[in-house]
Structure 1
Amino acid sequence: MIGPRDNAPARPSPTTTLNRASRPSAGPGDALPDHPDFLWRNPDPKPSYDVVVVGGGGHGLATAYYLAKNHGVTNIAVLEKGWLAGGNMARNTTIIRSNYLWDESSGIYEHSLKLWETLEEDLDYPILFSQRGVLNLAHSLQDIRDSKRRVYANQLNGIDAEWLEPEEVAKVCPIVNISPDVRYPVLGATYQPRAGIAKHDYVAWGFARKADAYGIDLIQDCEVTGLDIVDGRVRGVRTTRGDIAAGKVALAAAGHSSVLAAMAGLRLPLQSHPLQALVSELLEPVHPTVVMSNAVHVYVSQAHKGELVMGAGIDSYNGYGQRGAFHILERQMAAALELFPVFARAHMLRTWAGIVDTTPDASPIVGLTPVENLYLNCGWGTGGFKATPGVGWCFAHTVATGEPHPYNAPFTLDRFTTGALVDEHGAAAVAH
């Protein structure tokens, strides 16, 4: 196990802050992973690196790990302006699935799901990946048509997808209200049995631990304030901890990607919105799967410790606030009680918001930019967590070779000029 370096700064590390604020407590039978302070070094930045990854969340950490593992590139720095994995990685609702409509989307998400299925062994670290299945409910005839279309498309792509009638929905999740006498009666659902959830903090810590073992520098409290670009080629980054030269720079900063890209003179087709979620008090195990509903606009699962984890759609306004709003939560709770009357007496424990970056076609942007050796991974909307290992693998390939991986080739920036869009609004209305 690698401990903190002797020359680490004498101030409290951002990692320590994370542990005080959000380190999970062990539930019955849970083995708590080693304390994060001892999973990776807390180094000062070196003057130069072969690759600088901007963004120390799940995508940035996974990219660095797969650059080392798959391509032998280890002279890497991952720069995080706060504490490691303290942005959207710490704020998402952990749903993992691959049942997307279009071939391009299902390809990269299914690649990711297959990596999820062996990730715990690969990282040699517990991530609590639970393949409990995901139900996407249908409440109207149009919902049924759209849902069945997606099931058939999934099946053609070899993805496990089924259409369930209301009685079959109740067998998978007995606490769902399938009464016809409600505002939004459940008329059926799509079901992906291999889908599920994982523990987001553990995923980040597992990737960070492995990246550090390869000698990759994970540099916290290091905000990028500018990009050094000469003759159309990126040469490094300017940060609050000094200038750092780099052969290549990979941006993986989620909702702040448009701000970073603007430093290179790039105006991205992105809008950033708050996305709210909440958890309840601890409850006994009552919810066996993940339930999502576009029409009622809520999705619900139960975490390993027992909290109900609930989310809704993005806030309509643009912004960078990481806080909740009562009217959003009120609608979210009304929607949840429509589907789950059994939760009527559950108490809300805490709420939060993340910052999601959305594109016009509700699909990500992964690939090269007009600036030589500057690479971009953004626009995942609310679907970034489930893509973590898959996009890390593909983005690492893109950075190492200078060419898109086949799975992220459809998601290049130039699709917005060629018109080759991948419109996933139907699959992304609630949880992308």
Structure 2
Amino acid sequence: MHKVKGVVSKGKNQPVSVETILVPDPGPGEALVDVLTCGVCQTDHHYVEGGVGDDYPFLLGHESAGVVSAVGEGVTEVAVGDHVILNWRAVCGECRACRKGQPWYCFATHNATQKMTLEDGTPLTPALGIGSFAEKTLVAAGQCTKIEAELEDHQYAAVGLLGCGVMAGIGAVLNTGAVQRGESVAVIGCGGVGAAAVAGAALAGATTIIAVDLDDEKLATARKFGATHTVNSKEQDPVETIRELTGGFGADLVIDAVGIAPTFKQAFEARDLAGRMVLVGVPAPGTTWEIPLDEVFGRGGSIKSAWYGDTLPSRDFPMLVDQYRLGRLDLDGFVTERIGLGDVEEAFAKMKAGRVLRSVVELDRPGTGAEERGAETGVAAPAGAAR
């Protein structure tokens, strides 16, 4: 049993706190991971708000890179000493999606069987089955994707973000939207996921990449990731402007990275005939939309939602790490600031205010103790940073 520090949400809308937690040694099929970095994601705050159930206390954190420190019986995917990115789609290989050859839809993903707890024995619910705002975490071995590439220490903060938000945006374009070289892409909403969608469109070779947002600073950030045009939707009609920028037709692919009824409708209408749209922004419960059925038929194409960017971690993470190392994917650009465990509550406030793309917790090497870091912070937020 390992006694470490972790960030815990004890009740709905209560401030999070750094607590001592107990992490067991790995059992069959499990891996113990020394966490190096963990991004502060909107999903973690959904747990705080009660938007992902009420099974408190939650051990937060899931966008992580780390080092495997122990493995349980039967584990062959990773070994002690491997650097890994953690993921929340540890495919089972047996469900109906996996049997159809679509493991990125796996409906029975694995998590660790044993529970991490507070010191008094209260079981913790790990966010997305990971719980990596902690010095150590216990996961299913399949939640570890090995990083084969040699990286500098500071680069793990960037590649760890592939574990959730950045991958969701890139995957919505590459996997769900299946963008092709030379196509046009419009992205509505340029926070962290939307900016990642812009970066994915550039990586795929789209020639017209249109970023849409209400905030000029977020639009400036989108340009840094590859947007060729920007549209402030407070000042211009986004649908008409997207059409103007695409020869009067509309974009081949439109990404809704917001997830509200007005942006969904804009995305639907801003497509070319037979164009595709992808919803990757997470809607609030009960959100509805109204589009005449004859328009759905008449426009053709497809309307899809992206679950984790239809990501298969074993396929996508290594490829994107390689693209990062080759200078084709600016993962460093998503790291707005580097912080300690004690700064997560403040990071949530910055995220909600749209002041950062990602705050990233960096934990000390095993044995030094994150509690000694206090509230040490890293780099300041750059101009134009957005959630």
Name which structure has the greater RCO, CA cutoff 8 Å, separation 6+. Answer: 1
Q: What is the TM-score normalised by the length of structure 2?
A: 0.26
Q: What is the TM-score normalised by the length of structure 1?
A: 0.24
